[in-house]
Amino acid sequence: MYRDTTELAENKLLILYILNKIDASITNSYLTQIVLENNLINYFSLQQYISELIESGFIDLTKEINRQLLKITLKGKRTLDFFIDRIPENKTKIIDAYLLEKEIEVQYEYIPRAKFENIGNDYFVDIKLLENDKIIFDLRLRTNSLENANTICENWEKKYSHYYDTILKTLTKEI
């Protein structure tokens, strides 16, 4: 029983260690790739540990445009700092070497942009979505009130992921 408890703690700390080293939101599949390519934890245990770490508030799960992203929380960082010496050194060296070799970078940073201009009695709203500083979505709308223009801008910046997914799904459906 003691061995199982120790292994459980080490594996969860190892997941936190990986997320902390990357210091960016990554997909579950990317985290899984890192762990499996280095034979650190089996797939089913890994998925269980990730779920438990999310439920416990050590990992944050966010949903963005057709994917879910994982990132270590402040609670996760503090716990890792306190218990980092419980991770076997050979495992941290494996992870460090792997991340250095693969030159892990922040991937898929989405930035919503929204602005409007007034021309005569109309307001023209421009909404965009940038991925790593490249425009991946650009739309211009006309409305007849300042209130609507402001609402469109605010909604886009708050819920761009939902709207982008909906528009993409709608436009890719066959009629």
pLDDT in tens, 104-118: 544 556 778 889 999
- Considering its fold, how many domains does the chain have in total? 2
Give one DSSP letter per residue of the chain, joined into a string: -HHHHHHHHHHHHHHHHHHHHHTS-EEHHHHHHHHHHTT-S-HHHHHHHHHHHHHTTSEEEEEETTEEEEEE-HHHHHHHHHHGGGS-HHHHHHHHHHHHHHT------EEEEEEEEEETTEEEEEEEEEETTEEEEEEEEEES-HHHHHHHHHHHHHHHHHHHHHHHHHHHS--
pLDDT in tens, 15-72: 999 999 987 788 898 899 999 999 999 999 999 999 999 999 999 988 766 678 899 9
Same domain, 64 and 122: no
Same domain, 114 and 36: no
| Domain assignment of residue 139, given as a range | 110-172
Residue 160 clears pLDDT 70, i.e. is over it: yes
User: How far apart (Å, rounded) are the C-alpha atoms in residues 113 and 157?
Assistant: 7
pLDDT of residue 23: 79
CATH number of the domain encompassing residue 31: 1.10.10.10
Q: Name the token pair of 71.
A: 């990132």
Same domain, 56 and 134: no
Confidence band, pLDDT 50/70/90 cuts, at residue 172? confident
